[in-house]
Amino acid sequence: MTLNTELKNWVNECAKLCKPDKIVWIDGSLREKELLENEAASKGEITRLNDKKLPGCFYHRTAINDVARTENLTFICTSKKEDAGPNNNWMAPADAYKKAGEIFSGSMKGRTMYVIPFSMGPVGSPFSKIGVELTDSIYVVLNMRIMTRMGSAVLKELEKSNATFTKCLHSKAEFDIKKRLILHFPEDNAIWSVGSGYGGNVLLGKKCLALRIASHIAKTEGWMAEHMLIMGIEEPNGRIGYVAAAFPSACGKTNLAMLIPPEGLRKKGYRIWTVGDDIAWMRVDTDGQLWAINPEAGFFGVAPGTNSKSNSNAVKTVQKNTIFTNVLLKPDMTVWWEDGDGPVPKEGTDWQGRPWKPGLKDKDGNIIKGAHPNSRFTAPMSQCPTASFRIEHHHGVPIAAVIFGGRRAHLMPLVYQSFNWQHGVYVGATMASERTAAQFGKQGEVRRDPMAMLPFCGYNMADYFGHWLGMGKKMLPAPKIFHVNWFRTDDKGKFLWPGYGENLRVLEWILARCRGEVGAKETPIGYIPNPEDIDKKGLDITKAAIDKLLSINVDNWKEELKGHKEFFLEFGERLPKEIWEEYEALAKRLKI
């Protein structure tokens, strides 16, 4: 129980609705963790993995129709529809409470309701926010234990000042897709999620609180909640420059956050510090600089494609105390996924629980994958070899550069710098990626995803652009804004840039620009590196490839501008005039 009356009343109210047999307050202790693991393992909710090879690790499968965030069932419930904007599904709060209330009603009968007090950000930091999640899933409790700081210390913090908190209610209910809703009530600081067991829908501290609800709070309070990794780049002289970077999904955000410097740069003394791989909360501090914390304490990373070449730090991070969801289970009770390490196993149990062996095909002749393409690992950040020593610092790290990125085969140069903050906001607002063969839909189709926040901005995105513009005026100096593209191809569709650790060469240029140490070429879209200023020592790349990577094609850009206009028109009158100003200025520079 608790001394915080608001919390006590709310827990009672939710218990009355969901009717659990029992209520358990989570304290976050090791003993409690072991008891919950044993209970969930005995019920088959999780499976203990090989304790010698993967100590403290567990395996979990979600329902077959519950393997990713369900954006079509995700709603922002504000009194006025315009406040949710064209970027969100909207439902009136009263309708939403009624509709979901019917599903929650009695949904925890025969189950336990766990009360999880959690802190997004270091406990007690003025940068942090507290939430309390009520859930009937032990899997959720165990994941929240990794992804957030949670338990008694947070409860104490809540009681100290009778502080306010985000009310997060979750029930598995029947895992029925027809009775699944992910609802956000920014005006009530509340989240209701029902009918799902997939991480992005049910670990309510993550996308729901730290992005959708927090973006709304941040706008009101004057800070920024962003879908960004945070990393530090240590130079040979010991100086560390920190950057925050936003990429749409499937662009290697987790890999970049844990980058291994190529041998030459490592020998020179370069080193990477990982602060976060998914979310950044950023504030202007008393020194006028932008400071960022990662509100999370763990990684909820995509498993397929993670291997010792793409991300050896992630591979090292998931060797213990990790929960694997929807990957392939091997007969020796270890796990595997496509494009992972080691030989392809001869047999196993696939993510749907069926016997699996390589080459199996479905009735349409398609290869059956052992792991679901969106299968995940949940692992503590502290286990990452590059985890920053600043993770628990209450004010986080000072941000020198903001980086936007996307997957563009032909349009975008390897890197360019915006002319100033306002132009940088335009660069972020026009961010986009082309669909790859791995994604559903038409290959090559451009999907706009401003600041990688399209599915996560908890309010009208026109106001969000306005908020970005306003934040720039508060900073002295504002970080420089860049755009990168690791995915430019030649005429045969082959990547021109090697990517992975070599991306550090681009980050090196970015930081040199921030410090005013290197020149650049002015072009209609922004500042592009002089080819000689990108360190290419030890890199097997032709001059022609570098020239192509750093070139812009004015005709392609003219075509791109049509897409910008079409996208911005959706926001009508609410779009800040500065965005149209930047549009016109770019058109003029391109001589349209």
Task: Measure the CA–CA gap between 323 and 232, rounded to whole angstroms.
Answer: 27
Contact partner, 33, from ligand OXD, Mn ion, none, Cβ < 5-8 Å per class: none
Q: How far is the CB of 456 from Mn ion (least distance, A)?
A: 8
Nearest approach, Cβ of residue 200 and ligand OXD (Å):
5
Nearer residue to Mn ion within complex by CB, 456 or 465: 456
Count Cβ atoms below 10 Å from residue 364 Cβ, excluding itself: 5
Partner interacting with residue 450 (select from ligand OXD, Mn ion, none; CB below 5-8 Å by kind):
none
- With CB under 5 to 8 Å by kind, the binding choice for 200 among Mn ion, ligand OXD, none is ligand OXD
| 586's tokens | 């770019």
DSSP state letter for 583? H
Q: 312 contacts which partner out of Mn ion, ligand OXD, none, CB within 5 to 8 A by kind? A: none
Smaller CB separation from ligand OXD, 49 or 302: 302
| 3-state DSSP assignment of residue 102 | helix
Whole-angstrom distance, CA of residue 322 vs CA of residue 345: 21
Q: 459 φ, ψ to 5°?
A: -155, 180
> Within 46-75, which residues bind ligand OXD (CB under 6 A)?
69
Q: Of 249, 308, 439, 523, which one interacts with ligand OXD (CB under 6 A)?
A: 249
DSSP-assigned states of every residue in 312-380: HHHHHHTTSS-EEES-EEPTTS-EE-TT-SSSPPS-EE-TTS-EE-TT-B-TTSPBPPSS-TT-EEEEE
Q: Which is nearer to ligand OXD, 407 or 548 (CB)?
A: 407
CA distance 51 to 339: 24
DSSP-assigned states of every residue in 262-310? PHHHHHHT-EEEEEESS-EEEEE-TTS-EEEE---SEEEEE-TT-SHHH
Q: What is the closest distance, in whole angstroms, from the C-beta atom of residue 227 to Mn ion in the complex?
A: 6
Catalytic residue among 57, 251, 384, 514: 251
Given ligand OXD, Mn ion, none, residue 304, with its beta carbon under 5 to 8 Å by kind, binds none
Q: Is 38 annotated for ligand binding?
A: no
Is residue 457 part of the annotated active site? The answer reads: no
250 is in an annotated binding site: yes
207 carries a ligand binding annotation: yes
- Looking at the Cβ atoms of 46 and 280, the one nearer to Mn ion is 280
Q: Is 501 annotated to bind ligand?
A: yes
The contact mask relative to ligand OXD for 522-561 (x = CB under 6 A, - = no) is: ----------------------------------------
Task: Give the C-alpha distances (Å, rounded to integers) separating 363 from 360, 366, 367, 368, 370.
Answer: 10, 7, 10, 10, 16
H/E stretch holding 428 reads helix 421-429
3-state secondary structure 549-573: HCCCCHHHHHHHHHHHHHHHHCCHH
The number of C-alpha atoms within 13 Å of 59 and in the hemisphere containing its C-beta is: 25
Closest to 275 (Cα-Cα) out of 236, 238, 228, 334:
228
Looking at residues 197 to 226 of the shown chain, list those that interact with ligand OXD (rule: CB under 6 A): 200
Does 89 bind ligand OXD (CB under 6 A)? Our answer is no
- Binders of ligand OXD among residues 164 to 203 (CB under 6 A) are 200
Q: Which of the choices ligand OXD, Mn ion, none does residue 277 contact, using the CB cut-off of 5 to 8 A by kind?
A: none
Q: How far apart are CA 208 and CA 213, in angstroms?
A: 6
Pairing of strands 298-302, 376-380: antiparallel
Q: Which is nearer to ligand OXD, 261 or 295 (CB)?
A: 295
Which of Mn ion, ligand OXD, none is residue 529 near (CB under 5 to 8 Å by kind)? none
Check whether 374 is labelled as a binding-site residue.
Answer: yes
Q: Which residue is nearest to Mn ion (CB)?
A: 278
SS (H, E, C) 499-546: CHHHHHHHHHHHHHHHCCCCCCEEECCEEECCHHHCCCCCCCCCHHHH
Rounded to a whole number of angstroms, the minimum distance from the CB of residue 294 to Mn ion is 12
Task: Report, in Å, the least distance between residue 538 CB and ligand OXD.
Answer: 32
500 annotated ligand binder:
yes
d(CA 167, CA 123): 18
Measured from the CB atom, the residue of 296 and 434 that comes closer to Mn ion is 296
Compute the residue count for the chain: 592
Smallest distance from ligand OXD to CB 184, Å? 16
Q: How far is the CB of 255 from ligand OXD (least distance, A)?
A: 13
Q: Whole-angstrom Cα distance, residue 367 to residue 370? A: 9
Determine the Cα–Cα distance for residues 55 and 57; give it in Å rounded to an integer: 5
Q: Is 236 left (phi over 0), alpha (psi -120 to 50) or beta?
A: alpha
User: What is the Cα–Cα distance from 490 to 404, expressed in whole angstroms?
Assistant: 22
| Residue 278 beta carbon to ligand OXD: minimum distance, rounded to whole angstroms | 5
Looking at the Cβ atoms of 33 and 206, the one nearer to Mn ion is 206
Torsion of CA 541, 545, 551, 556, to 10 degrees: -140
CB 69 → ligand OXD: shortest distance, Å? 6
Q: Residue numbers of the site for Mn ion (CB under 5 A)?
A: 278
Q: Give 69 or 145: the residue with its C-beta nearer to ligand OXD.
A: 69
Spatial separation of the C-alpha atoms in residues 207 and 131, rounded to whole Å = 13
Among 66, 133, 226, 278, binds ligand OXD (CB under 6 A): 278
466 contact, one of Mn ion, ligand OXD, none, CB 5-8 Å limit per kind: none
Judged by beta carbon, residue 151 or residue 248, the one nearer ligand OXD is 248
Residue 198 assigned as binding residue: yes
Q: If phi over 0 gives left and psi between -120 and 50 gives alpha, with beta otherwise, what is residue 222?
A: left
Count, residues near ligand OXD per rule CB under 6 A: 4
Tell me, what amino acid is at 127? Answer: F
Q: Whose Cβ is closer to ligand OXD: residue 211's or residue 259's?
A: 211
At closest approach, how far in Å is the CB of 296 from ligand OXD? 10
Give CA–CA dist 213/315, Å, rounded. Answer: 32
For residue 420, the partner it binds in ligand OXD, Mn ion, none, with Cβ less than 5 to 8 A by kind, is none
Note the residues at the interface with ligand OXD (CB under 6 A).
69, 200, 249, 278
Binding residues for substrate: 69, 198-200, 249, 374-376
Binding residues for GTP: 250-255, 376, 407, 500-503
Binding residues for Mn(2+): 207, 227, 278
Binding residues: 69, 198-200, 207, 227, 249-255, 278, 374-376, 407, 500-503
Give catalytic residues, as residue numbers: 251
